Amino acid sequence: MTIRLGIVMDPIHNINYKKDSSLAMLWAAQDLGWELLYMEPRHLYSEQGIAMGLMAQLKVMRDPHHFYELDHQQPLPLGDLDVILMRKDPPFDTNFLHTTYLLSQAEDAGALIINKPQSLRDCNEKLFATQFPECCPEVLVASDAKVLKAFHALYDDVIFKPLDGMGGASIFRARKGEPNLNVIIETLTEFGQQQIMVQRYLPEIEYGDKRILMINGYPVDHVLARIPSSGETRGNLAAGGSGVAQPLTDRDRWICEQIGPVLRAKEIHFAGLDVIGDSLTEINVTSPTCIREIDDQTGSTIAVDLIQHINQLLAARLSLIHI
């Protein structure tokens, strides 16, 4: 029986062939003989309580000039698929939320969703990290300017960031005496209407913002240290950082041991932890990246390992059906 894999992702023609992690997953699945079906979030809908998708059969190639082919779209129930990869990048906005509700309908109809839709809703990548205070730096989530200013005054050097951003967008460092402090807070909180995060500045960012990829709650053997460009405080590759693969440290492994059981309990099969120095800063469960960079530098096969894990999950489901 051919496994049918659906993927919900940003437009495939816009992805970066050299770096895209979703493409690596698709190659790995296709190499196993799986059928690939492509959707964007706008292609999902519900009809008479049945989650549906306008799907196009997809073929992927290892050719930078011609790396995919799409067939014509056809409407199919999402529950007819064996597994669906949710690979839509943040921001986690209303449209993203509605997409997870449709994926929950598909899950109820029998499809395996990676990652579990309920957990996508529950685990904001910045707030989720605060559930592990022993792993995190000093951190505050608030919208009130007085509360935010008090935290800044306590630590002098802090990072302000929105809760739903990605790629280092709208991140501000505010040192002691920052003349634009009011403007930063007003802009990010929309004059007190939006909760934001503020963290103590971690000077270890100089050595990289480490991305640790987790499959089934267990880390891969190497991290990608995303090192800021000159004059930057953000290591994000999208903000100009450079990526260097490094072995996990003992502290990295300890952090993974604290978080791994929770990821497994929440059926978060693929996640990305962000660690600066010895401190956890974020847990990405929506669309973790950096597979290609780590694989290229270390010879690892992260996407293959993930697809093999999904294959084991599907086999376990099938065995339960036949009991």
Name the nearest CA neighbour of 283 among 91, 80, 88, 136.
Answer: 136
Residue 186 falls inside a structural domain: yes
10 Å CB burial of residue 149 (0-12, 13-18, 19+) is middle
Residues 85 and 54 reside in one and the same domain: yes
Active-site entry in 115, 216, 236, 284: 284
Strands (E), 115-234: 139-142, 158-162, 172-174, 196-200, 209-215, 218-219, 222-227
Say if CB 186 and CB 196 are below 8 A apart. no
Indicate if the pLDDT at residue 68 is higher than 70: yes
Full residue range of the structural domain in which residue 78 is found: 4-121+308-321
How many structural domains is the chain composed of? 3
The catalytic position among 282, 292, 293, 295 is: 282
Q: Domain check: are 116 and 21 in the same one?
A: yes
Pair 73, 173 in one domain: no
- Residue tagged active-site, from 211, 266, 293, 295: 211
**What is the average pLDDT value for the chain, to the nearest integer?**
94
176 is catalytic: no
**Tell me, what CATH number does 89's domain have?**
3.40.50.20
Report yes or no on 293 lying in a domain: no
Is the pLDDT confidence value at 280 over 70? yes
Residues 221 and 259 in one domain: yes
Would you call 226 a catalytic residue per the annotation? yes
Asked if 136 and 281 touch (Cβ cutoff 8 Å), the reply is yes
* pLDDT at residue number 233: 66
What residues have CB less than 8 Å from 77, skipping those under 6 apart? 50, 51, 52, 53, 106, 109
pLDDT at 302: 98
Q: Is 116 a catalytic residue?
A: no
CATH for 154: 3.30.1490.20
Residue 290 included in any domain = no
Q: Rounded to whole angstroms, how far apart are CA atoms 5 and 34? A: 7
| Same domain? 148 vs 256 | no
Q: Which of 20, 107, 209, 274 is catalytic?
A: 274
The residue among 99, 21, 47, 37 whose CA lies nearest residue 72 is 37
pLDDT of the residue at 176: 97
Q: Which member of 88, 210, 226, 266 is catalytic?
A: 226
Whether residue 66 is contained in a domain is answered as yes
284 a catalytic residue: yes
pLDDT of 1 reads: 79
Judge whether residue 262 has pLDDT over 70: yes
Name beta bridge partners: 128. none
Q: Assess whether 103 and 27 both reside in one domain.
A: yes
Q: Is 216 a catalytic residue?
A: no
pLDDT at 229 over 90: no
Cα angle 142, 235, 303; round to 5? 100
User: Is 303 within a domain?
Assistant: no
Assess whether 169 and 259 both reside in one domain.
no
Q: Is 274 assigned a catalytic role?
A: yes
Same domain? For 170 and 213 the reply is no
Same domain, 15 and 39: yes
Pair 158, 87 in one domain: no
When computed from its CA atoms, the radius of gyration of the chain, rounded to whole angstroms, is 20
Question: pTM of this prediction?
Answer: 0.94
Residues 116, 126, 200, 266: which is the catalytic one?
126
Q: Specify the pLDDT at position 164.
A: 85
Q: Is the dihedral of CA 247, 291, 288, 188 positive or negative?
A: positive
Residue 133 lies in a domain: no
Span 101-131, pLDDT tens digits: 999 999 999 999 999 999 999 999 999 999 9
**Separation in Å, CA 122 to CA 131, 135, 259, 277:** 12, 19, 15, 27
Q: Residues 208, 185: one domain?
A: no
Query: Do the bridges between strand 172-174 and strand 158-162 make them parallel or antiparallel, or are there none, so unpaired?
Result: antiparallel
Residue 180 amino acid letter = N
In a domain, 128, yes or no: no
Find the catalytic residue in 88, 200, 234, 266. Answer: 234
**Residue 149, pLDDT score:** 98
Active site residue 186: no
Residues 257 and 208 in one domain: yes
CATH number at residue 248: 3.30.470.20
pLDDT in tens, 141-190: 999 999 999 999 999 999 999 998 776 778 999 999 999 999 999 999 99
Is 296 a member of any domain? Answer: no
Question: Exposed/middle/buried for 1, CB within 10 Å: 0-12, 13-18, 19+?
Answer: exposed
